[in-house]
Structures are given as C-alpha cells and as structure tokens.
A = this chain, B = another copy of it.
C-alpha cells in the first residue's frame, strides 16, 4: 500500500516547510521508503480538498488520512510499531510535547523573526500575494524583517543553548539514535537552509555536528528537497 504525503511547495520545487520535513523524516525513520510526495501550492489547496480542511502536511495511508505533523507522527508510531521507535514509550511521547512546545514558542518564532524576508523569496511568485497577505496578518510588514538581523541572530543563537548542552553528551536528542524530538528541531533548521539562510547557524557552532549527522541519515535524504541543497555540506 502506497503512502502519499501532501507537502507545501515553494519556488522551483523547493520544499521548505518545517512541518512537512518532520513528517518526511518520521516516514524514513520508520523504514518507509515507498511513499509519494505531492506538492501543494500555498494558494491552492484543492489537492487536499478530500480532507475537508486546509492544513498541510496531510498523510494518506490506504483509505485513511491524517493531518498535522504531530498527529501524523503519532499515527506512524502506532500503525507501524515494528519500525524503529519515534517516541519509545508513552512517557517519551508526552516528553516530546515539551520539545514541540519549545520549537513553537522559542525556536520557530525566533527564526521567523530573522528569515521571514528570505522565506518570502522562496515562495513561488504565483503564491506571493496570497502568502504576503496571510503572513502579514500574523507578523506585520515582511520588509521590516530585513532589519536588525545581527542582534536578533545573537539572541536566537543563545536561545539554542539547551540543545548544545544536551548534544554535548549524546549524539542525538533521542540518545544514540535519532527520535522524533530530533526531527521536531531539525525541521526548523531545514527551513532555514531551504530559504537560503544556512548561515543562521555559525560554521563553528557545535550544533553543526548534529545537523551533519541528520543530513547524512537515509542516504542524505534531507539534502534533496527535491531541489538539492545548493551549498556544499
């Protein structure tokens, strides 16, 4: 049975959605390689009209569909218990909610504050009017995000200290192997990379080792979006 993932699509087929990356990495983690990726544009969600809602990613497995990357991870863990564990236990699943909340309240907003303008450039030109209107409701004028990058970067990098401390003692947030908590955090860094802002993490940052390990997973799967990451890593 083939699984289908509906994911957001940017300019030139760039896939930068952090939430879609969480789902893609979770599928690979479960050893599921036989899935189809269907690009959906920001302005036209008709490919997921069958779900009666507009949130992406959507995963379809046979006659069952699930939306929301967290729900999809839980679905995969429960429906594919023989693959490597994403959470490891009920406690692990509940604990992952704290990492999820940390990405939602600290890691993501801080990054968006730095790269919103760059993200706009990665949106398909045909989607930009829609995207600007949608995002400016939440964030205000996109152009303003070109300002004061240096201070915002310094603050955001400092906010990542708990990650550095954790990864100083173990190769992955999940321990000796990655778990869903790694993909929660990694998705946001991939978003930065795919909007052309790999520089938000400095070259000598200790997080680079962990990023490199995740980029290498599954034969370098995350380097191909399907547009390949442009920089040498």
Contact = CB atoms under 8 A, between A and B. Distances in A.
A166 interface: yes
Nearest to A161: B105
Contacts of A88: 88-92
Interface stretch (A11-19, A40-48, A170-178, A187-195): A170-178
Interface stretch (A50-58, A93-101, A128-136): A93-101
A104 B96 CA distance: 18
Interface string A178-201: 010100000000000000000000
A172 B92 CA distance: 12
Nearest to A91: B88
A179 B181 CA distance: 17
A22 to B, nearest CB: 16
A132 B27 CA distance: 54
Contacts of A165: 101, 104-105
Copies in the complex: 2
Contacts of A173: 94-95, 97-98
A215 interface: no
Nearest to A104: B165
Given A88-B90, A105-B162, A165-B105, A95 B96 contact: yes
A99 B106 CA distance: 14
A94 B87 CA distance: 11
Contact of A166 (B85, B90, B97): B97
B162 A101 contact: yes
A166 B92 contact: no
Nearest to A90: B175
Interface in A136-168: 161-163, 165-166
Interface of A: 85, 87-102, 104-106, 161-163, 165-166, 169-170, 172-176, 179, 181
Given A88-B92, A95-B99, 18 more contacts: A87-B91, A91-B92, A92-B92, A94-B170, A94-B172, A94-B173, A94-B179, A95-B96, A95-B181, A97-B170, A98-B163, A98-B166, A98-B173, A98-B181, A100-B166, A104-B162, A105-B165, A106-B161
